[in-house]
Structure 1
Amino acid sequence: MLFNLGIEKWFDKKVSDVVNNSVEVARNYLEENQNSIKGEILAMANDLNRNFNLYSENKPVFQNYFDQQSRFRKIEESYLINKDGLLLFSTSFSNKNNFIAPLKTFIEMAQNGQTILISDANKNQTNALVKLSSNENIFLYAIRYVDPETVNFLKKTGEASTFYYKLKSNSLGLQISFAAVYIVIVSSLILLSSMYAINIANKISRPIIKLIFAAKEVSVGNLEVKLKNEEEDDDFKKLYQTFNIMTQEIQAQKNKIALSERYQAWEMVAKKLAHEIKNPLTPITLSLERIKDRYSKQINIDKSDFENYLNIISRQVEDIGKLANEFSDFARMPNPIKKSNNLKKIIEDSISLYKLSEKKVIFNLDYSSTQDEFKFDLNQISRVLINIIKNSLESIHEKQ
């Protein structure tokens, strides 16, 4: 009876849950690792597509760029292959002598636009294959190695799960055998055996129960959970340590993927916005040149004002173009260039932009300073003054 209770305790729902959760954690780790390299190879493929002209125009520069991409994304080996699996290019630190092309089936799947992930547990590595959109006959083939200890732990988790369920399926036979021995052996030996069984069950179940609660926390998304190595058994200590490492790596991978996605989204928005801003600048500039060439000789009255207005507009268009270029470099503001400039003239030019269009508004400049020259960034101060005047005019119109 005592032995039966011990066996049932070994194979009760809690123990089954911890075994299943351990296998689930191992599976989640593999999926996170695969999703990580999938995200990295897609990002790397996008970068290579944008700069693939270097492959044919400047091989040394492309080699350096290819190496930097692999190091930045922590990919140990990166190759460019054709549709027949032949090696075309590789990072300078890749082991080309041991290069093995992916199967023809995988290349055909990648040819159809799929991102192929290949896990090789025997070599402790995960491979990824994707087609480059810039050249449909060239594929990016990346290899990332996995920590051997982690792979070994994943193998042990699977073996332990298989062994556990094998024992569970044979538990009835164990109970019958013990019942036969129980009839033969004297009561004193039965008592000792029963006590030993209970002790073993408690010793096994206590650390496993801790692992159950930790695994449940991970399953609901709490990756901050930690297991303290307070067990006497070295195997459980190592299991706890590996469990903690796995949760930390999963958390790090999730954070990295989320950060990478945010950066890519901002970069895309910045470049698209800069492109839309710059589109109308060229026709505006050409129109200014045509106006200046066509009418500068015909205007005799206020000709200096006419040319001054055109120069101001041209300078503002040029400033917008510079700002758009800077914004294209991931939406960062240009660094100020401080030079000696005439502040009074800058203010007068800014007012002149609105005098013609705002006939009902009287502009008065009360400049009491005796000093005109100051050190500042001409473009940025001009934008500030224009914004101030624009906001003031909008406020006046709203009150009317």
Structure 2
Amino acid sequence: MTPVSPRSRLARLLFGRTEVRLALVILLTATLPLVSAVYLASSMFRQASALWFNPEVGTQLDRGVDVYKDYVKAVKDDMRHQGQAIAADDALKSAATAGDATAVNARLETLFPRFQGLVALRVENEDESTLGQKDRGTPVDKDQEKSLDTKLSLGQGRVSEVFLVATFAVPRKRLDELEASGQIVNTYHQLEVSRTELYVGYTNAFSALLALTIVVTAVLGFLLARGLTKRIERLSLATRKVAGGDLSVQVPVTGSDELTELARAFNKMTSEVGQARSRIEFLQRMGAWQEMAQRLAHEIKNPLTPIQLAVQECHRKYAGGDARYTQLLDTTLEIVEEEVGTLRRLVANFSNFARLPQAELASADLRDFLSDCRDQRIEDPTLGGDGAEALLTENVDVEWQIPEKSIPCAIDRQMFRRVVINLVRNAVQAHRSTKGNPKVRVRAVREA
């Protein structure tokens, strides 16, 4: 005998059982689509990330923001240069350092129209006291404009240093766009930095979902497979019992699937096989009894004729005058002939029992046959005489349902009548002690 390795034994244990194979099939069926979906989602996420976070896009965004910054810087530098140009005006410096407010205002009136974007010009001392000023006539519209103040020194005055404060206005839209663009670019770079963390987080979530699905599917698959294999094991055990000769075994009929139909068919099969075996055993016993009856009839029948002939010969040849002896011979002859006749009838019964009657089938109408059976009196041998009348009228009602239409058939009327009458008699006797109003119904039904 070839030894079995532990690995082969483990493989048979794991993969040789039906519930394990079914559980694996269910597990693979449930997890393979999910694994494929996770893989495809990861691939799509990586491709989308590579498309959305293209380094060239980030570079171009940075360049765009730098252009805006350069523009704003150029605007501010231009305003500062304009302020320096105003502050470099000699006439303005002379008037400011001399503290001549009239000359300062007159010079500011002259210089103000030369420079675009000016909102106001103001000359003030170090203590912020105003020496002279000029504005465009309208204040800065904070919704549309943004102001920029430039403070430049005009020189040392009589009391303190004198400064020129130039207020310029630039469109707020440009600066807001620059700020919004900067925020968008910063957000883009933050997403670009955090995309790996986002990818890992989604991957972990999908992995956890996959693991949970595998566990739940494995448990449910094993439970479902176990339910099927338990029923199969019951059928297998019942089959082995039937093979051992136990035909009374029945398997529980549960569910509504193919195994349920198999269980019903198995139970029906065992019942029919049990009935067939009972009939075979009955026929075997009947055959043994018939063989014994045939032998017994033969053994009894053989000496009857010589016995009867011997007694008759003795009675015929006696010619004596003894009346008492003559009477004894007459009595003996009568008794012997009577008992021989009884034995002959018993032998005839044994012979009839040993030979099963042959049915002589003939065409008949089952409706007329049942009508004849209904009109026949059913006697009860256990009561004797007219006991059947008392039996049938006491508490059992025999109802004969005669079909309206003709039902042609082929039967042996005498044998079939005996069968029907015996069945009715047995049914009536079985309900003799039943309380209430039992009824025995006899009917004929045409099968399709």
What is the TM-score of this pair, normalised by structure 1? 0.34
Larger Rg: 2
